[in-house]
Structures are given as structure tokens and as C-alpha cells.
A and B are shown apart, each in its own frame.
Chain A
């Protein structure tokens, strides 16, 4: 009986071991593995990936409305009956495999009203433009072209087109249309010329493809377009403008500049008009004992000091270190410096490459700002008592700075084609059609940048499975996608103002999502490091479990074999 109890003890002992191994294995598999999975999961909020993929294939349509008004003497009475009519033209361009552009021009033809005829009878084109504007105001993004007879005296002899300050243009009909031709021939004659006007006043393919540079790295076109794209600041929600007065010689000159008044009168109107494009903040400072860093050469023939254009590039760096900027914002800064040369180096003139004097006496650097040299030696004679009080002529200074500001913001277009007479911009420094041009290219640029940002963010998040996607990032991405879709829709219908607004919202949301500080953790977990972490934890635990399970299985098999043997 002792033998029996020992045998029973051995059996129950073994059975207990088997049950222990099985239950531990069960706990590990049923409780442990899911627990480990849930606790090591990263939180990834849902992203609208399918919509983002749709947006990566960008099909932009830009619509512009043109109204063509025939003045008396351009159409015969029978033709007048067939006019008014509307034509729609589409122009397709494929930029690359992901981006396609379509330009839609909706042209409405009509004849001029009596009031418009009176306006067109003014002596000069500028006055005609002004009185036409008082009659009606064209909405943002549209154009009105008045076709005037060849005999009209509004334009000088060699000019065929006058581009006004608002959204109107005067087009002189060609000589070959003098004898009565059919309406179709007239329209065919006008079509390329109206298209040329549109390219100047609305959008042109070069501008739009330059605006897409974020999406598409285009091979450089002509030198002018490269210079334009390098010079203008990229689209940003805000800019900072700093005006600095550099006085290297306070012992001789005591300078007074009414910067507040000048900014209010000359610069602020432009910035108010551009308020839909970006926010601007302006500040000013005076720097004393700030030298140029380049020694000007004395030219005895002019009895003045000269700065050659080659040495201008080295002027900016020594000064820039002292300029400072607003630490709070990360907006791009435009610096405008007014340098008054010291008494021993006055007057100072800038010479261009051909050794000619530059009338503005100023130069600018792409994506940085401008510097103007203002000579004050003419304000006092040799017997003056130093320091001399000098009042700076802010109108002249601001004229130069305003021109540089227009160039740097991308408002100034490249030279107009021959035969075009462009009116000087108005008192607020910006013609309406220039604003439209800027809005077109900014909207397209914003849409292009936002789509690239969103698509690359989605790609990045897919590639790196370990990044945590918080709810706020998902929210920003969704709102960016919605704004982008709205912006593209508004561009299609031609509502330029809304398109710009939506595109700005899209950019803000996409940048906020892409540059969120939380997207940095857990960037890189190579697989071998993962194994190195888990093996010391789980292997010692799993080896006994697995081996005992195997033992159970082999024991069970052996028993079955014994039973088989017993049966036989």
C-alpha cells in the first residue's frame, strides 16, 4: 500500500505539474498577450487619407471674367444687333503627372452705354479711366476692356493698349478692321489681343507655374522669371517691416525724420489694401555710428564718393548684425534702411555696372529689403555749425521704399509687352488689377503649398507606424482638407476673395499640423532594438512554459501509444 500511495503521489504530482503548466500558458495567452498589445499601442487618431490622396492630384481651374465693351465707331449697326454675346474659352496645361491647370475665360461682349461714351470722350486716357470708374466698379478678379476706334485720340500713336489704375483697359482696334468686316472676323482679330491684356492684368501661365514651385520643381524658364521668383517673399500669413535710419556721424548731422507720419500717409494705404493677402506690422529704429562696411571711392570728376555695384553685396552683412528683429514672431522681415553718409564722405552716389549714376540712389536685396543713400550735404554750407539739424524729405524716401516694397512683395509685374501703356499706380501704391494678380498667384501658391504639406504629412505618418497622432493634429488636418477643397471650388467659380481666404486658412491649418511639436517622439524604432528589449523579458518566462507544454504533448502521445499497445 505504501508503494501504491507513492505511485498515486507520483501520478497526481505529475498531473498537478501539467495543470500548472497549462494554466500558466492559458493566463499568458488569454490575459497577457492582449494586455501587452493594448498597452504598447500608439494612439493614432483617424485621418481622412482618401481625401488627402485625392488632393495630391491637383486639378486647378482658374476662371476669369472679361467684359468687352465696344465703343461707338468700332462696330457697324448690323453687328451691334448681334452683340451682346458670351463666349467661354478653356485652355489646358499639364504641368506634371500630378498637377494640371485649366484657365477658363468667360468673355461677355456688349456695346457701350451713353454714359460710357461720354466718359470715353475725355481728353486723356487717365481722365477717361477715372470717369469710367465712377460709373461702375468691377468685382474682384474681373476685367473690363473698352474697345476704342482707331481714330481715338486717347492713346498716343505707338501705343495700342492703356492699362488703367482700376480694372479697366482701353484697347485700340487695329487698322485692318477699318473697312466693314463680319462680326466673327472682328472677334477673331480681338481675341489674341484681349488674351494679351489678360496675361498682363490677370494671370499668365508663367506666373501661375512659378506659384506652383512648391509642388513642382520646374526647370528654370527665362532669367526674368527666375529673378522674380527669387526676389519675392514666399506667401506668409504675416510680414514685419522695419524702417531703420542709419546715422554714422551724429556729431555732424542731427537727423529728423517723421517716420510715423510718413508711414501713415504713404505706406499704410498700400498695406491696408493688401490686408486680405497678409498682416503687416511696422516698426522703426535709428542706429547711430553704424558704418557701411565698404569704403567708397572718391571720384574726382564728380567730386563725390561712389559705391560701385560690385561692392554693394558686401554692404548688407555688417549692418544686418546690428538691426535686430521682433523676437516674438517668426514672420519674414523686410528691412528698409536709410543711410545718411557722414560729412567726410558726402555726397555718396551709387553707380551701376555701366558706371552710370543711379537716379534713385538705392538698391535692394532679394527676400531681404532695401537700402537708400540720402545725401544731406546740400542742406548746409561750409560755414555751418555742427551738428546741423536736417529734416529728411520723407516723400522722396518713401517713394523709393514703396517701389522696393512693391518689388519684394511681388506686386510689381515684369515689364509690359510693347504697345502697352501702363498707368502709374495710384496714391495707395497699388492698382486694383495688380492686387488681383497678387491674389491669383497667392491663392495658387497657398493651395500648392498646403496640398504638398498635407500629402507629405500623411505619407510620413503612414510610413512611421510608431508616431502618436493626437486628436488636435487630426482636427487640423481635417480642417485643412476642407479649406483646400473649398478654395479649389471657389477658384473654379472665380470668387477670388473667398478663394484667397480659404487658401490662407488651409495653409495655417496644414502648417500647424505639420509643425506640431508632438510629432517628434518615437520616430525610429529599428526591429533589432525591439527584439533586444523584449527577449530578456519574455524568453526566460516562455522557455519553461513551452518545454512543459511539449512534455505534456509527448507524454500524451506516449500514453496513447501504450494504450494502443495494450489493446493489441
Chain B
């Protein structure tokens, strides 16, 4: 009797372990994505915001190291650090003090640089509403089986993020953009990381499914910078991204670390601010989502079992070298700007705006009329 129960236990254990092997083989199907994209945005310009560019470039390097190719990364940088006149080491952007690690290098592919990093372009990239002339490298060509990583860094506040010191994106706009992505099935799962002051306010308004968000600080807290370098003269990295990168250095393409480990990165003791995260919109359990589901690009692979038996010989491509030469198509470059249209164009009908000072003049006129009719001393009749 006991032997029977032991044997049955053994049998179930064996069948369970064989199911485990099946499950490992079937890990293929657990995440549901077939390709990875990354949108990395640095929203600040000017020399004293060196650390934001270094943040973004470090994340770019990690993401490339873990396998996402340049064609699947949209990198938006102000890009005025490496060639800035104040940079004591031109053509470099360092992320560790004592100039240990140059994250700029010679194979950085920046898709939107300088003044192209605007709220409008960022939203256009996310929603896909780009003009038809935009090249492939500047588009986010994701489909319903893409996992997308979005990383934003810069200066932010409660409910907004400042772009290039001149405009802002609000959390409502961001949430609406993600909802439009969901409506068009432009992502399978999306990981949103933001490293700014009061970063948690940016993910408060999300309402689309399959979103996971991390922020470096809660509402009311500031995210602090980390390493000042005396030779360069500015802070090189922000704390949250620094510790995030330290964590990512241990991740390799076949690592099994999951999102719960990512949430523990940079506790209050190291970061001074309290990092936050949001997983209620994410359909899977965060413990089952691997880091490499978003940061890396592990391809699913199937062995090709069938082949087709082709027996026909190759027919030679017809070559006409009879008397005349083969008509070669002449290729020419497409006009980047329709120059002939521009120089011969009539001035565009702009929307009519009232002349400058109109409102001021209007006030003055109205107030003048009233004071004239009532007189200053009779003001008491009015008020």
C-alpha cells in the first residue's frame, strides 16, 4: 500500500517535471511579443543639463547591449553636449566621474536631435501621425506584438514635463497618446520609466491596459543628481538612472530577472527620493514579466521542419544585348524641399491676427471713454 502511494507520488513528480520541460519550451508563448522597441527621450538642452543626456545615452547603451537594434530605437536628444564649447573633452559624454565611461562613442544613432525634440514630434512618434516624408528610422513602426520601452528624463513638475525649456507635455496628453496607441494596437505591453522631479505625477492619469510605469520620485519630491565631476564641471548622472544602470549591468540576454527586482532599484536610502511604480493596468503578474521582455530583444525562434522540393532549373534572366543597350532607368534624387514651388510661391494666406497691442489699445480706449463720460470725480457713481 505504502509502496503504491510512493510510486504514484514518484509518477506524478516525473510527469510534473516533464510538464516543466514543456513549459520551458512553451516560454515562447508566455509574453506574447515578437519584437521590441525603445523610445528614449531627453527633454532638456543646455550645458548644465549634461546629466539628462548622459542618462538617456546610458540607457541607450544598455538597451543596445541587450539586443535591440538601432532600427528599433527612437532616440531623441538635444545633443548639444558632445560638441559644446564648454566640454573639456569634445566628442564625449561621460556617465561616470573621473571620465570612466564614455557613453557617446562613434555608433550612437540619434534620430531626433536639437530643436527637433518637441512635444509635437514626440506625440507624433507615439501616435504614428508623421508626415509621409518621414524616413523609417524616425518612425515607431510597432505592431500589436511589440513590447515598447519608453524612457523620459528632464525637468518636470506636478503633472507636466518640460521640453527644451519652452513647452510642456501634460500627463493627460501623455495618457491620451497611450490610449490612441492602444486603440490602434500599436503595442503589446508598454514599460514607462521617467526620471524627473515629481515623476510619479506623470503616470497618474494612465488608463489604457497593459501599461507598467516606474518613476524616480513621488509627487512633491525632487529627483536628485548623483555624481559631479570636477573636471567637466557638471553633474554627470541622476541618482535613479545611475542605480538603474548598475542593476542593468548584471542583466544579460538570457537572464531571468523579473520586474519585481526592477521595482527594488534605488531605495530611499540611496536615492533620497522615493521611487514609485504602477502596475494595476498591467494584465500579467509583474513577477512573470522578465526584464529582457522590455530591455532586451530576445527573438523567438522555430526550427524550419518542412522544405519544398523545387526541381525546375533556373531560367536565365532575359538579357537583351541586341543592337541597343538596355534602357537603364535614370535615377535622380527627390527634391528634399520643393525649391521651385517655394521660390515661385505667392505668400501664404496666414490666419489673420489682430495687430500687436490691440488688446492693450482696446482696454485703454474703453477706460478712456468711461472716465471721459463719468469723469474722475464721478467715479463714485459707478463703483
Contact = CB atoms under 8 A, between A and B. Distances in A.
Contacts of B298: 313-314
A280 B297 CA distance: 27
Contact of B173 (A21, A326, A353, A524): A524
A416 to B, nearest CB: 13
A548 B301 contact: no
Nearest to A548: B382
A227 B144 CA distance: 14
Contacts of B373: 16-17, 20-21
Q: Which 10 A-B pairs have the closest CB atoms?
A: A456-B183, A317-B67, A261-B314, A17-B373, A362-B304, A312-B301, A321-B69, A399-B307, A367-B34, A399-B308
Nearest to B132: A517
B310 to A, nearest CB: 5
Given A261-B316, A395-B310, A366 B366 contact: no
A381 to B, nearest CB: 27
Interface stretch (B23-31, B51-59, B214-222): B23-31
B180 A266 contact: no
B74 to A, nearest CB: 14
Given A520-B123, A537-B359, A24 B366 contact: yes
B128 A364 contact: no
A412 B306 CA distance: 10
Nearest to A400: B307
Contact of B301 (A262, A364, A402, A412): A364
B367 interface: yes
Interface string B67-86: 11111000000000000000
A24 B369 contact: yes
Nearest to A519: B129
A360 interface: yes
B309 interface: yes
A261 B129 contact: no
B312 interface: yes
A158 to B, nearest CB: 21
Given A227-B302, A317-B68, A360-B303, 4 more contacts: A365-B299, A370-B304, A452-B185, A520-B129
B337 interface: no
Interface string B42-55: 00000000000000
A192 interface: no
Interface of A: 16-17, 20-21, 24, 213-214, 220, 223, 226-227, 230-231, 234, 258, 260-262, 264-266, 309, 312-314, 316-317, 320-321, 325-330, 332, 350, 352-353, 358-360, 362-368, 370, 372, 394-396, 398-400, 402-404, 406-407, 412, 424-425, 427, 429, 452-453, 456, 460, 514-517, 519-520, 523-524, 526, 537, 540-541, 544, 547-548, 551
B124 A517 contact: yes
Nearest to B381: A551
Given A227-B29, A309-B301, A325-B136, A429 B316 contact: no
Contacts, number: 203
B130 A517 contact: yes
Interface string B136-153: 110101011100000000
A543 B311 CA distance: 92
A402 B308 CA distance: 7
Interface of B: 25-26, 28-29, 32, 34-35, 67-71, 120, 123-124, 127-131, 135-137, 139, 141, 143-145, 170, 172-173, 176, 180, 183-185, 253-254, 297-317, 359, 362-363, 366-367, 369-370, 373-374, 381-383
A548 B370 CA distance: 9
A265 B315 contact: yes
Given A327-B135, A363-B303, A230 B145 contact: yes
A365 B311 CA distance: 27
Contact of B314 (A262, A312, A425, A427): A262
Given A17-B373, A359-B307, A520 B124 contact: yes
A358 B144 contact: no
A232 B317 CA distance: 31
A279 to B, nearest CB: 17
Contacts of B303: 309, 350, 352, 358, 360, 362-363
A366 B317 CA distance: 32
Contact of B184 (A332, A358, A453, A519): A453
A227 B253 CA distance: 22
Given A360-B305, A363-B301, A523 B173 contact: yes
A460 to B, nearest CB: 7
Contact of B25 (A353, A366, A452, A548): A353
B32 to A, nearest CB: 7
A537 B141 CA distance: 45
B309 A516 contact: no
B370 A544 contact: yes
A537 to B, nearest CB: 6
Q: Which of B29, B35, B185 gathers the greatest number of chain A CB atoms within 10 Å?
A: B185
A398 B382 contact: no
A314 B253 contact: yes
A21 B371 CA distance: 11
A314 B317 CA distance: 37
Nearest to B124: A520
Contact of A403 (B29, B124, B307): B307
7 contacts: A330-B139, A362-B303, A394-B314, A402-B310, A515-B130, A516-B129, A551-B382
Contacts of B381: 551
B301 A520 contact: no
Contacts of A520: 120, 123-124, 127, 129
A395 to B, nearest CB: 5
Contacts of A370: 304
Contact of A424 (B25, B35, B170, B309): B309
Contacts of A262: 314
A329 B139 CA distance: 11
Contacts of B34: 230, 365-368
Nearest to A319: B69
Contacts of A363: 301-304
Contacts of A537: 359
B70 A321 contact: yes
A370 B307 CA distance: 12
